[in-house]
């Protein structure tokens, strides 16, 4: 399509390339199509990018207790991002090929432990000062290799058996990492970064001016355009950049011929095999790719938190959280799990945040006032006691209820339901839908205006 | 260093093959096997008939442990005399089985029944969400009454009668009474399930339903009601397992008991082959024995703390790698 171009060389101004009018039109159409395809991505990115500023403005207003209670903190958003990446990698294998990888925490934990162990100088051949970006890639590669090993065994099985054998592998690793004394003084309580005082830096490896340190305490604030970005905000952007790159890579794979085969395996594996695809290698490849991104997510998690325990790295409930996020956000939608995690984490924080961060508990304490809290209800229990009993730290109860409601009534999750409404993926259909609505609204306004004019 | 280690292991090997060690490991293994069969049999019944892998099973076991512990504490109190404690235990059996069975029936009827026609994943997900809710409810209630939800409930542990607390001489070694009690209880349960499945008309319905639910329905069996009854029976059994664990120092009633029993139950059920009761019994014995042997080795020679638990999952991986459908599994069970 772009082959017809003309080189016009002028003696004075060097040579330049010019297209004929037909090609120019084609380029314009194509780029417009590309922009439209990614419009939704850009909108979401924009929304994520201005969130810290929005949070800052809304929570520093005059009477902002409600906003403080409602909005997740920027630190929480960092956690949403890296865990969202893990949930997306879980969705990449489970939602697209239909093989429920119930031991996915093995890869997340491996990535996290790898980063902390390298920083503590416990991994041979790797110095603690190895650039964090390289560590992330290595963590991913390590997880991918591990996945090749696990997958070579596991993909002989299907259905529940597959889920259970991956769970078995992950739990073996969990017990091993929980009790292996080489890792640290008390491996049951997890390990923390002790060998490295500086924060892990995301950016161009080795160039300090082109990279930023992440972490709640180890991160560095940055002065930009006369205002200071806090350490959490800087981490938010740095982690977010990695997550976006990983998301785009996974999205690209899903839209490639390889991704078509993944979906074919989910829809009808026997038929995919019958038309000549060696599904075993496709499944193994998918598993390995998804493990790579899970490892990167684990590395980001360890880099930000600077510590990891067997319970928040390897335990099967970590996979359970990813499953929760995937179902709430939309199984087999890739972007859905990120929103699912945002919903899940936001709800948890809203319900059980304590201290200065706000949350429903603090909000109720502040706004109800002492007399209301001491009102006795049934059986002499005061409102305050009731609030303390049912809200303080019991978010899993409400998350569970929401989750069950989702399974019963919104089985396709948030993004999946929107997709079904629109009749296609959000990136493809949403712009058209929006422009339809806009034209309709504009037309309606015009009609109204002309009607008014006529009446005059 | 290395030579010392080798010497230690050969010493340990020599002392492992003495009659005392072997008999005590054997009975320890049988006791563990009956615990495993208790926590897994309900799961396997439900899966075999309905194809629902119940993630809330462990939470129901934990409910059973607390409820049973409550009955025991109320009846027996702080100073247990043997007849009172044992009588209390059998009253607790009735209460726990009835209450948990009722709860299970209501859950099946209200939550799982509407989604039978969906892919099996959704039933797993539903029970997973249910497990979150049940665990958190237990945590709220338990901490409301000032009991530490993470540690085992000592009040229930201390209602154990003296008759089970002492040890009994048995050939070359002596055994704790509680282990013998657990073996007996496990055998009784397996016998009860076997009799139910093979000797009663309802058991016939269950076996027919798990082989071909559609055909059974065509022959006039109310399969839906059979589902509800089996789910109730499964949760009742989960509760009984919890009750049995409430006296065991190694487990005890606590909120984390839910996850601690759910995973071994999965392992046993999967190793045996999903949905076969015989496979579950054999797998329980296998897992119980390996658990007892690795526990012995951990106590005597190997310092790695997680040895028994790691072997639990290693057996799962090895069995599935060798026999992808488990020991007695067939490829098509309950729609899987």
Q: Helix B223-245 to helix B201-211 angle, to the nearest 10 degrees?
A: 110
Mutation target among A160, A176, A347 for the B interface, most CBs of B within 10 A = A160
Tokens of A170: 């992950």
Residue B131 contacts residue B258 (beta carbons within 8 Å): yes
Segment B1-5 shows an average pLDDT of: 47
On whether any CB of chain B is under 8 Å from the CB of A152, the answer is no
Segment A24-33 shows an average pLDDT of: 83
**Model confidence over A99-109: pLDDT tens digits?**
999 999 999 99
Q: Is A443 exposed, middle or buried (0-12, 13-18, 19+ CB in 10 A)?
A: exposed
**Total residues found in chain A within this entry:** 456
pLDDT at A139 over 90: yes
Residues of A in contact with B121 (CB under 8 A): 100
Longest CA–CA separation in chain B, Å: 72
pLDDT confidence of residue B289: 92
Residue A86 contacts residue A322 (beta carbons within 8 Å): yes
Kind and range of the H or E run holding A263: helix A257-274
Determine the residue of chain A that is closest to B146 in CA distance.
Answer: A389
Residues of B in contact with A161 (CB under 8 A): 270, 274, 320, 324-326
Residue B265 CA from chain centroid, whole number: 6
Q: Which stretches of chain B are assigned E, i.e. beta strand?
A: 167-170, 173-176
Q: How many helices (H) and strands (E) does chain B have?
A: 14, 2
**Model confidence over A44-71: pLDDT tens digits?**
888 888 888 888 888 776 666 667 777 8
Interface of B with A in 142-161 (CB under 8 A): 144
On whether any CB of chain B is under 8 Å from the CB of A280, the answer is no
Cross-chain CB nearest to A400 (options B129, B267, B336): B129
Confidence of residue A10 (pLDDT cuts 50, 70, 90): low
Query: Per 3-state DSSP, what percentage of chain B is helix, strand, and coil (rounded to 5)?
Result: 75, 0, 20
Do B135 and A396 lie within an 8 Å CB cutoff? yes
**Total residues found in chain B within this entry:** 336
Listed in sequence order, the residues at least 6 apart from B317 whose beta carbon sits closer than 8 Å to its beta carbon are: A153, A165, A168, A169, A172
Integer Cα distance of A219 and B140 in angstroms:
37
Residue A135 contacts residue A299 (beta carbons within 8 Å): yes
**Model confidence over B45-79: pLDDT tens digits?**
888 888 888 899 999 999 999 999 898 888 877 66
**Model confidence over A217-259: pLDDT tens digits?**
777 777 777 677 788 888 899 999 999 999 999 999 999 999 9
Tokens of B3: 């030579």
- Beta-carbon neighbour count of residue B307 at 10 Å? 19
**Model confidence over A258-301: pLDDT tens digits?**
999 999 999 999 999 999 999 999 999 999 999 999 999 999 99
Listed in sequence order, the residues at least 6 apart from A38 whose beta carbon sits closer than 8 Å to its beta carbon are: A427
Which of residues B101 and B160 earns the better pLDDT score? B101
Q: A17 in helix, strand or coil? A: strand
Residue B132 CA from chain centroid, whole number: 19
Q: Which of B132, B214, B181 is nearest to A348 (CA)?
A: B132
Give how far B256 is from chain A: nearest CA, Å. Answer: 12
The single-letter DSSP state of residue A230 is P
Determine the residue of chain B that is closest to A180 in CA distance.
Answer: B304
- Supply angle C-alpha B203, B207, B213, rounded to 5: 125
Integer Cα distance of A344 and A70 in angstroms:
13
Kind and range of the H or E run holding A165: helix A159-179
Q: Could you please report the per-residue DSSP string of A390-414?
A: HHTT-HHHHHHHHHHHHHHH-TTHH
pLDDT confidence of residue B3: 47
Residue B68 CA from chain centroid, whole number: 15
Do B325 and A179 lie within an 8 Å CB cutoff? no
Pairing of strands A227-229, A222-224: antiparallel
Pairing of strands A191-192, A200-203: unpaired
Residue A121 contacts residue A310 (beta carbons within 8 Å): no
pLDDT confidence of residue A88: 96
Integer Cα distance of B174 and B168 in angstroms:
5
On whether any CB of chain B is under 8 Å from the CB of A149, the answer is no
Listed in sequence order, the residues at least 6 apart from B218 whose beta carbon sits closer than 8 Å to its beta carbon are: none
What Rg, from alpha-carbon coordinates, does chain B have? Answer: 21
Do A407 and B126 lie within an 8 Å CB cutoff? yes
Q: Is the alpha carbon torsion for B154, B155, B156, B158 positive or negative?
A: positive
Mutation target among B56, B114, B128 for the A interface, most CBs of A within 10 A = B128
Residue B68 contacts residue B246 (beta carbons within 8 Å): yes
On whether any CB of chain B is under 8 Å from the CB of A179, the answer is yes
On whether any CB of chain B is under 8 Å from the CB of A317, the answer is yes
Determine the residue of chain A that is closest to B324 in CA distance.
Answer: A157
Tokens of A46: 């924009």
pLDDT at B219 over 70: yes
Give how far A168 is from chain B: nearest CA, Å. Answer: 5
Listed in sequence order, the residues at least 6 apart from A441 whose beta carbon sits closer than 8 Å to its beta carbon are: none
Residue A104 contacts residue A319 (beta carbons within 8 Å): yes
Residue B41 contacts residue B190 (beta carbons within 8 Å): yes
Give strand pairing partners of A10: A14
pLDDT confidence of residue A274: 94
Residues of B in contact with A400 (CB under 8 A): 129-133, 136
Integer Cα distance of A194 and A183 in angstroms:
12
Listed in sequence order, the residues at least 6 apart from A379 whose beta carbon sits closer than 8 Å to its beta carbon are: none
On whether any CB of chain A is under 8 Å from the CB of B53, the answer is yes
Do A159 and B336 lie within an 8 Å CB cutoff? yes
Residue A234 contacts residue A221 (beta carbons within 8 Å): yes
**Quick one: three-class SS letters along B121-156?**
HHHHHHHHHHHHHHHHHHHHHHHHCCCCCCCCCHHH
pLDDT more than 90, % of chain A: 38
Which of residues A380 and B39 earns the better pLDDT score? B39
- Beta-carbon neighbour count of residue B296 at 10 Å? 21
Q: Is the alpha carbon torsion for A346, B124, A91, A89 positive or negative?
A: positive
**Model confidence over B249-289: pLDDT tens digits?**
888 888 888 888 998 998 999 898 877 888 999 999 999 99
Mean pLDDT of chain A: 84
Residues of A in contact with B263 (CB under 8 A): 171, 316
Integer Cα distance of B246 and B248 in angstroms:
6
Determine the residue of chain B that is closest to A381 in CA distance.
Answer: B144
Interface of A with B in 99-128 (CB under 8 A): 100
- Where do we find the tokens 């109730």? B232
Cross-chain CB nearest to A397 (options B122, B137, B325): B137
Q: Which of B126, B40, B49, B118 is nearest to B334 (CA)?
A: B49
Integer Cα distance of A249 and A255 in angstroms:
10
Tokens of A56: 């800052």
Do B136 and A397 lie within an 8 Å CB cutoff? yes
Integer Cα distance of B58 and B49 in angstroms:
19
Give how far A252 is from chain B: nearest CA, Å. Answer: 27
Structural domains for chain B: 2-322 (1.10.3470)
Residue B252 contacts residue B246 (beta carbons within 8 Å): yes
- The CA-atom distances, in angstroms, between B119 and each of A423, B125, B132, B171, B172 are 22, 11, 21, 54, 54
On whether any CB of chain B is under 8 Å from the CB of A378, the answer is no
**Model confidence over B102-128: pLDDT tens digits?**
999 999 999 988 888 888 788 888 999
Which of residues A202 and A241 earns the better pLDDT score? A241
Residues of A in contact with B274 (CB under 8 A): 160-161
On whether any CB of chain B is under 8 Å from the CB of A81, the answer is no
Confidence of residue A370 (pLDDT cuts 50, 70, 90): low
Q: Which of B315, B314, B244 is nearest to B285 (CA)?
A: B315
On whether any CB of chain B is under 8 Å from the CB of A169, the answer is yes
Listed in sequence order, the residues at least 6 apart from A368 whose beta carbon sits closer than 8 Å to its beta carbon are: A383
Mutation target among A391, A398, A400 for the B interface, most CBs of B within 10 A = A400
On whether any CB of chain B is under 8 Å from the CB of A66, the answer is no
Pairing of strands A200-203, A211-214: antiparallel
Give strand pairing partners of A192: A307
Determine the residue of chain A that is closest to B132 in CA distance.
Answer: A400
Residue B68 contacts residue B242 (beta carbons within 8 Å): yes
pLDDT at A3 over 70: no
Cross-chain CB nearest to B320 (options A157, A320, A400): A157
Q: Which of B263, B316, B315 is nearest to B53 (CA)?
A: B263
Terminus-to-terminus CA distance in chain A, angstroms? 54
On whether any CB of chain B is under 8 Å from the CB of A408, the answer is yes
Integer Cα distance of B227 and B216 in angstroms:
12
Determine the residue of chain A that is closest to B262 in CA distance.
Answer: A316
Cross-chain CB nearest to A164 (options B129, B266, B305): B266
On whether any CB of chain B is under 8 Å from the CB of A50, the answer is no
Residue A396 contacts residue B132 (beta carbons within 8 Å): yes
Q: Is the alpha carbon torsion for B191, B192, B197, B200 positive or negative?
A: positive
On whether any CB of chain A is under 8 Å from the CB of B335, the answer is no
On whether any CB of chain B is under 8 Å from the CB of A381, the answer is no
pLDDT at B1 over 60: no
Do B317 and A176 lie within an 8 Å CB cutoff? no
């Amino acid at each position: 399509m772009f082959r017809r171009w003309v080189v016009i060389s002028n003696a004075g101004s060097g040579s330049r390339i010019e297209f004929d009018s037909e090609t120019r039109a084609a380029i314009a159409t194509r780029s417009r199509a590309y922009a439209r395809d990614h419009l939704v991505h850009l909108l979401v990115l924009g929304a994520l990018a201005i969130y810290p500023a929005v949070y800052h403005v809304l929570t520093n207003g005059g009477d902002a207790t409600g906003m403080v209670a409602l909005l997740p903190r920027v630190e929480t958003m960092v956690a949403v991002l890296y865990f969202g990446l893990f949930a997306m990698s879980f969705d990449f294998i489970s939602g697209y090929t239909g093989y429920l990888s119930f031991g996915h925490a093995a890869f997340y934990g491996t990535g996290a432990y790898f980063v902390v162990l390298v920083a503590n100088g416990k991994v041979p051949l790797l110095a603690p000062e190895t650039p964090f970006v390289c560590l992330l890639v290595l963590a991913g590669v390590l997880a991918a290799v591990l996945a090749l090993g696990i997958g070579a065994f596991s993909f002989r099985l299907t259905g529940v058996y597959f889920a259970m054998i991956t769970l078995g592998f992950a739990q073996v690793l969990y017990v091993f990492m929980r009790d292996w004394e080489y890792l640290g003084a008390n491996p049951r309580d997890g390990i923390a970064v002790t060998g490295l005082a500086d924060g892990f830096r995301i950016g161009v490896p080795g160039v300090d001016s082109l990279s930023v340190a992440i972490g709640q305490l180890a991160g560095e604030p940055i002065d930009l355009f006369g205002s200071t970005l806090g350490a959490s905000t800087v981490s938010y952007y740095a982690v977010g950049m990695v997550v976006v790159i990983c998301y785009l890579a996974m999205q690209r794979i899903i839209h490639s011929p390889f991704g078509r085969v993944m979906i074919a395996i989910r829809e009808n594996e026997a038929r995919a095999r019958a038309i000549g695809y060696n599904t075993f290698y496709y499944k193994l490849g998918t598993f390995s790719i998804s493990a790579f991104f899970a490892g990167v997510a684990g590395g980001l998690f360890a880099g930000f938190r600077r510590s990891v325990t067997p319970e928040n790295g390897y335990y099967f409930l970590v996979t359970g959280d990813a499953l929760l996020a995937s179902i709430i956000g939309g199984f087999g939608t890739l972007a859905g799990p990120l929103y699912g995690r945002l919903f899940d984490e936001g709800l948890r924080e809203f319900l059980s945040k304590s201290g200065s961060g706000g949350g429903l508990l603090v909000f109720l304490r502040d706004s109800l006032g002492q007399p209301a809290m001491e009102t006795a209800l049934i059986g002499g229990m005061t409102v305050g006691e009731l609030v303390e009993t049912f809200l303080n730290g019991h978010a899993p109860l409400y998350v569970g209820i929401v989750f069950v409601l989702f399974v019963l009534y919104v089985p396709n999750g948030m993004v999946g339901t929107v997709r079904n409404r629109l009749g296609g993926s959000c990136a493809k259909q949403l712009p058209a839908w929006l422009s339809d609505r806009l034209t309709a609204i504009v037309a309606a306004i015009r009609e109204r205006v002309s009607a008014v004019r006529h009446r005059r | 260093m290395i030579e010392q280690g080798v010497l230690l292991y050969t010493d340990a090997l020599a002392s492992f093959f003495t009659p005392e060690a072997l008999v005590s490991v054997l009975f320890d293994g049988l006791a563990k096997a009956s615990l495993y069969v208790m926590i897994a049999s309900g799961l396997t019944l439900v899966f075999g008939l309905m194809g629902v892998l119940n993630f809330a099973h462990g939470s129901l076991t934990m409910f059973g442990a607390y409820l049973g512990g409550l009955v025991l504490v109320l009846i027996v109190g702080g100073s247990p005399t043997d007849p009172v404690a044992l009588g209390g235990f059998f009253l607790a059996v009735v209460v726990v089985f009835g209450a948990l069975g009722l709860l299970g029936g209501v859950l099946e009827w209200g939550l799982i029944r509407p989604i039978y026609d969906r892919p099996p994943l959704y039933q797993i997900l539903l029970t997973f969400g249910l497990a979150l809710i049940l665990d958190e409810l237990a945590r709220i209630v338990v901490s409301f009454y000032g009991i530490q939800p993470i540690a085992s409930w000592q009040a229930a542990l201390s209602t154990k009668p003296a008759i089970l607390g002492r040890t009994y001489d048995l050939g070359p070694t002596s055994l704790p009474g509680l282990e013998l009690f657990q073996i007996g209880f496990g055998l009784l349960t397996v016998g009860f399930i076997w009799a139910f499945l093979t000797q009663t008309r309802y058991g016939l319905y269950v076996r027919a339903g798990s082989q071909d639910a559609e055909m059974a329905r065509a022959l006039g069996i109310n399969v839906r009601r059979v589902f509800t009854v089996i789910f109730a029976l499964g949760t009742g059994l989960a509760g009984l397992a919890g009750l049995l664990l409430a006296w065991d120092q190694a487990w005890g009633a606590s909120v984390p008991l839910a996850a601690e029993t759910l995973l071994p139950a999965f392992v046993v059920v999967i190793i045996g082959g999903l949905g076969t009761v015989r496979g579950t019994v054999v797998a329980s014995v296998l897992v119980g024995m390996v658990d007892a042997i690795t526990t012995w080795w951990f106590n005597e020679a190997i310092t790695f703390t997680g040895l028994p638990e790691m072997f639990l999952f290693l057996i799962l991986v090895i069995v599935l790698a060798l026999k992808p459908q488990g020991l007695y599994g067939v490829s098509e069970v309950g729609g899987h």
